[in-house]
Amino acid sequence: MEKPHIAIFPLSVGMGHLLPLAEFVKRLCEFHGFSITLIISKWMWTSQQPPLLQRLASSALDIRITEIPHITVDEDEPDMKIETKVSKFVLKAKPHIEEVLLQLSHSSSPISAFITDFFCTDLLDVTTKLKMASYLFVPSSASFVCFMFHLPKLVSEINVSFKDADFEVEIPGHPLIPARDLLTPVQDRSTSAFKWMVHHASRFKEASGILINTFAELEEEAMKTLSTPATPSIYPIGPLMCTETDAPDESSCLKWLDEQPPSSVLFVAFGSGAIFSREQIIDLAIGLEASSHRFLWVLRGYKSGDSSSLETDISQLLPEGFQSRTMDRGLVVLNWAPQVRILSHLSTGGFLSHCGWNSTLESVSHGVPMIGWPLFAEQRMNKVILVRQIQVAIDLKMESTGFVRREEVERAVRELMEGEEGSKARKKMKELKDKAKLAMMEEGSTMKATADAATDLSQRPSLNP
Ligand code: UDP
């Protein structure tokens, strides 16, 4: 029998969208014998994307990489947000993707389906034209997908900007949520980012299916809401986690963790894109120090003045004397650390996180309770799920500017590591960890959803024009 062949166009801006999709690619190849063509663009690459793609391309798996011509996006509006940039990038990428898909569908091994990121809904025009099955990949929660399906209705019912709405909103399948905690780019109706998000949301229903990085037992309500004939097929294929890393400080982090007592270390990391102000770094440092708990902190530089580069000298970033005062119980790593390995380490007992969905799933999969410090994108929505719905995270009080004071950092760390709320969250996390493990077993929900996705991806023939 011929190998199923599909094409994938990932969003390789930041790592949060690329890492889980890369993991799904591996599973399709390893467990379902797929041949995969990855279509990539180097637009907005950082140093983190090339090693990951290199690893995929040089693996024994049947993966080929095709690059489309370089694209530039004009910043023709002040303070253009990433959602607008990405959406404009996709419009420019469209003819190139069409060309590649056309070639692939006329090749000796024609593709049966196309997968792309949920920010790329405009590529559905291409697959509709080519009469090709197309799937959206969502590296976020099923609750987020519920929100996207409901968004067009929500904006037609509420005619103020969510940022000015002092109430909670009801979204089928999603826990009750303050309007101000909804996705950052939809907060202000006057922005182009708002219009783009509503545009993408209104196109979700056109996809043949939606692949979500979650597992059914984690989000029962959301999954129930999504399983209606009105929505495309839904595949809860997570947790998708990448255990191979290219972290420069990998061995020193793990060696340091080996020397700490079990469950004693708070891991502090804010994903691949967050940059704090100098003031916030200082208050976080002082709060950590005052908590007296052990910590492993991934610190990213901060922008000083108008400079476009980051200040990356750790001793310049931290309060004076901080490192010498905490050297017996704290480790600060610059930029990037092997997060999945840290979360799976026995010494790790808590995670102070920006609630990125990958970080959330990685914490859940390893049973590590969290403190939620959301920054942007859908992270406040994730925090609501973590704190209100599954109750595995401590809430952190923020000022209206988003600033978190040192006293609050200290309180939350103590509560998580030694308080009653922390111990309840730890217990719930353990239960979820077991459920995640079951989902990943042969007869588990994730493996079944992955097999269903593999069948559908390979069986829908491309009807070439
Ligand atoms: N990550 C990592 N080391 C770091 C920071 C992040 O390995 O120092 C990984 C993390 O394990 C996760 C991803 O990068 O898989 C971040 O994704 P997430 O959705 O949590 O946040 P985002 O980067 O999209 O804000």
For residue 323 the two structure tokens come to 């490192």
Q: Whose CA is nearest to atom 2 of ligand 1?
A: 339
Q: Residue 442: which residues within 8 A CB-CB, separation 6 or more?
A: none
Confidence of residue 462 (pLDDT cuts 50, 70, 90): very low
- The pLDDT value recorded for residue 145 is 98
262: number of Cβ within 10 Å: 10
- How far apart are the CA of 271 and the centre of ligand 1, in A? 4
- The pLDDT value recorded for residue 307 is 58
Confidence of residue 14 (pLDDT cuts 50, 70, 90): confident
Domain with CATH 3.40.50.2000 in the chain: 5-239+441-459, 251-437
Confidence of residue 317 (pLDDT cuts 50, 70, 90): confident
Task: Please report the atom of ligand 1 found closest to the CA of residue 337.
Answer: 8
pLDDT digits (tens, 9 = 90+) for 48-70: 889 999 999 999 999 999 999 99
Q: Which amino acid, 262?
A: P
Q: Above 60 in pLDDT, residue 464?
A: no
- The pLDDT value recorded for residue 465 is 46
- How far apart are the CA of 118 and the centre of ligand 1, in A? 18
The span from the first CA to the last CA of the chain, in angstroms, equals 25
What predicted TM-score, i.e. pTM, was given to this entire model? 0.95
Q: Above 50 in pLDDT, residue 43?
A: yes
pLDDT digits (tens, 9 = 90+) for 423-445: 999 999 999 999 999 999 999 99
- The pLDDT value recorded for residue 411 is 98
CATH superfamily of the domain spanning 5-239+441-459: Glycogen Phosphorylase B; (3.40.50.2000)
Confidence of residue 304 (pLDDT cuts 50, 70, 90): low
- The pLDDT value recorded for residue 306 is 58
pLDDT digits (tens, 9 = 90+) for 363-402: 999 999 999 999 999 999 999 999 999 999 999 999 999 9
CA dihedral 37, 39, 44, 50 (to 10 degrees): 30
Residue 307 vs residue 387, higher pLDDT: 387
Confidence of residue 15 (pLDDT cuts 50, 70, 90): confident
- The pLDDT value recorded for residue 273 is 80
pLDDT digits (tens, 9 = 90+) for 111-158: 999 999 999 999 999 999 999 999 999 999 999 999 999 999 999 999
CATH T-level topology, domain 251-437? Rossmann fold (3.40.50)
Length of the chain: 465
Distance between CA atoms of residues 4 and 114, nearest Å: 12
- The pLDDT value recorded for residue 461 is 57
Pocket of ligand 1 (CB under 6 A): 14-16, 19, 245, 269, 271-273, 298, 336-337, 339-340, 356-359, 362
Of 3-17, 204-218, 234-248, which range is least confident? Answer: 234-248
Q: Above 50 in pLDDT, residue 262?
A: yes
- Across the range 24-44, mean pLDDT stands at 97
Averaged pLDDT of the chain? 94
Task: Please report the atom of ligand 1 found closest to the CA of residue 340.
Answer: 11
Catalytic residue among 5, 17, 200, 293: 17
pLDDT digits (tens, 9 = 90+) for 233-261: 999 999 999 877 666 667 899 999 999 99
Catalytic residue among 117, 122, 181, 283: 117
Q: Above 50 in pLDDT, residue 276?
A: yes
Residue 175, preceding peptide bond in cis (omega within 30° of 0): no
Is 17 one of the catalytic residues?
Answer: yes
